[in-house]
Each structure stands twice: as structure tokens, then as C-alpha cells.
């Protein structure tokens, strides 16, 4: 038995006795001159085929907590990530609904722990991204690509975009106030009809700015 298979069997055994930890609920808001901050911990979006292999044929995700963006939810299901270093991160939340592709989103700190180097990418831009092994209760999946550090981004509607004087795919600068005041650049604007106005950060960026929800930021216009 290879080392990956041995680790996978041990993780499956542990998962059999584990219980999911509820994810935080995002705060809803309306169009405003400031932007609410949402912190995204490590998580995974799965395709139908990958979910079948991890949890069993035809398995349905169990909604646990609604997320800020319409139709999205944190499920009661988790997986374990196994990196090149053979070190694992357990209890990584699966988000729903099921997608057409599988995408693992982690922070830079997580990447160091796993011994991998995922690129900073927009959601869905997975070509040439980092490989990873996923372990579920009934099976494992080795992804040849699919692990990224999510590019920080702001979801908003057309109306929000007008208020903030931006457009879809713009890259902007944002400012955090407070004791750990910070300016971040290269923040992607994502405009859609049903979006909830939110800045999405990973835990590393949030810690750098000492984010304590509820917290808001503003876009800097030069």
C-alpha cells in the first residue's frame, strides 16, 4: 500500500466519527457607499463526479448555513486535503450547490502547511493550478489541478457599481481603517444581477487588516 493510500484510509477512519462545524452566516445589506467585509476560510466547490467519488453515487449535499451570495450555502459535508508534503488539513467545508468543476480555495498559510504553491486566481481559472488529493468518507480523488488562492474580490450589482464608480472586471484599491489600517490593491470587481454587496478576503488578508465583522471598507479613487 502506497503512502497516499495509507493516509487516505486513516483520514476516512477519522472522518467517520467527526461532526461538521457550522459556518458563519453572512450579513445582508443594501447598496451603500461602504462595502461590508466577508472572510472566507478554506473551502471547496465540487463537481457531481467528484462528490460521487468522495461521498457515494448520487449523494446530495446537506445545506447547513446560507451564505451571502444568493443560492450558495455551506454544507454539512467536509473533506480532507492532502498535499505534496503528505501533511493533511481536515474538516474543509464543502460549499454548495454542486458546480461543473472542482475548485479548492485555501490561504497562503494553508499552502505552506500542505507543502504546495497554488497561484492567486479568479474563480474558475484553474488551468495549470496546483494538484491536491481529496479524501472523503467513502473514497479519494487526486486532482491534477484545481487548488488556488482566491483573488480578493468584491461582489456587487449594477446599481452598486454605479454608486462606487466601477465596472465589472475592474481592479481597484480598498482601504481598511482602524488600528491595523491597511490599503490593498488588485481587488477584482465582480458585477452580477443578483449579487450581494460584499468584499471577499481569505483569512491571511483578513488577519493582516485585523478584520472584526461587522466591518466595512471603501474603494479608493485616485
Query: Tens of pLDDT along 32-72?
Result: 579 999 999 999 999 999 999 999 999 999 999 999 899 99
DSSP element (H, E) containing 29: none
Residue 195 falls inside a structural domain = yes
Q: 12 and 96 share a domain?
A: yes
Residue 184 falls inside a structural domain = yes
pTM higher than the cut 0.85: no
Q: Which of 27-31, 61-65, 96-100, 120-124 has the lowest mean pLDDT?
A: 27-31
Query: Mean pLDDT, to the nearest integer, of 110-129?
Result: 96
Q: 112 and 171 share a domain?
A: no
Q: 166 and 100 share a domain?
A: no
Q: 173 and 75 share a domain?
A: no
Which residues are within 8 A (CB) of 154 and not within 5 positions of it... i.e. 6 or more apart? 35, 172, 174, 187, 188, 189, 190, 197, 198, 199, 200, 219
170 has pLDDT over 90 = yes
Pairing of β 88-99 and β 43-47 = parallel
Residue 33 falls inside a structural domain = no
Domain end: 149, 168, 188, which one?
149
Q: 170 and 78 share a domain?
A: no
Residue 24 falls inside a structural domain = no
Radius of gyration (Cα) for the chain, nearest Å?
18
The better pLDDT of the pair 104, 15 is held by 104
Residue 77: which pLDDT band, with cuts at 50, 70 and 90?
very high
Query: How many distinct structural domains can be found in the chain?
Result: 2
Residue 30 falls inside a structural domain = no
Q: 208 and 174 share a domain?
A: yes
Q: Which domain holds residue 202?
A: 153-220
Domain end: 149, 167, 185, which one?
149
Domain end: 149, 164, 186, which one?
149
Task: Count CB atoms within 10 A of the CB of residue 114.
Answer: 25
Residue 68 falls inside a structural domain = yes
Q: 54 and 105 share a domain?
A: yes
Amino acid at each position: 500500500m502506497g503512502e497516499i493510500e495509507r493516509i487516505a484510509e486513516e483520514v476516512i477512519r477519522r472522518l467517520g466519527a467527526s461532526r461538521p462545524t457550522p459556518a458563519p452566516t453572512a450579513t445582508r445589506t443594501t447598496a451603500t457607499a461602504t462595502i461590508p467585509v466577508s472572510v472566507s476560510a478554506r473551502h471547496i466547490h465540487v463537481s457531481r463526479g467528484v462528490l460521487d467519488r468522495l461521498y457515494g453515487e448520487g449523494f446530495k449535499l446537506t445545506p447547513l448555513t446560507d451564505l451571502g451570495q444568493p443560492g450558495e450555502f455551506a454544507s454539512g459535508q467536509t473533506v480532507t486535503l492532502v498535499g505534496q508534503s503528505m501533511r493533511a488539513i481536515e474538516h474543509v467545508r464543502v460549499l454548495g450547490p454542486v458546480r461543473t468543476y472542482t475548485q479548492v480555495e485555501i490561504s497562503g498559510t494553508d499552502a505552506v502547511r500542505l507543502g504546495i504553491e497554488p497561484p492567486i486566481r479568479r474563480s474558475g481559472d484553474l488551468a495549470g493550478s496546483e494538484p491536491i488529493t481529496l479524501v472523503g468518507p467513502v473514497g479519494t480523488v487526486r486532482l491534477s489541478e484545481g487548488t488556488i488562492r482566491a483573488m480578493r474580490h468584491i461582489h456587487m450589482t449594477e446599481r452598486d457599481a454605479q454608486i462606487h464608480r466601477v465596472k465589472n472586471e475592474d481592479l481597484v484599491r480598498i482601504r481598511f481603517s482602524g488600528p491595523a489600517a491597511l490599503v490593498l490593491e488588485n481587488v477584482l470587481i465582480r458585477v452580477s444581477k443578483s449579487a450581494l454587496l460584499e468584499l471577499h478576503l481569505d483569512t491571511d488578508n483578513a488577519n493582516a487588516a485585523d478584520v472584526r465583522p461587522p466591518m466595512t471598507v471603501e474603494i479608493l479613487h485616485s
